[in-house]
Amino acid sequence: MNTKAAKKIKVEAFHGTHFHAGCMLCTFATGIHTDETPAAQDVRAAVYKHVRETGHECWIESGTTWHYSLTESQP
């Protein structure tokens, strides 16, 4: 039988969701951290505009950062 006490892990969302984009063929880049594109739909609109105007291929990456740590009250 395992006599070790299970350590409890605290999980917290860290810095919210990130959402950024770039071009595969030039230096175009944007994200929700810029004044011109403050929301995800603004980033998508900027990517669509860039692809239509240049014919380039772009990417969008999104996700949430999670922070894992031991809880404060460990034995």
Alpha-carbon distances of 66 from 12, 14, 21, 61, 69, rounded to whole Å: 6, 5, 21, 16, 10
pLDDT for residue 72:
74
pLDDT of residue 70: 92
- This model's pTM is above 0.85: no
Amino acid identity of residue 22, one-letter, is: G
Q: Give the mean pLDDT per block of 10 residues along the chain (75 residues).
A: 75 80 96 84 96 98 89 65
| pLDDT for the residue 16 | 66
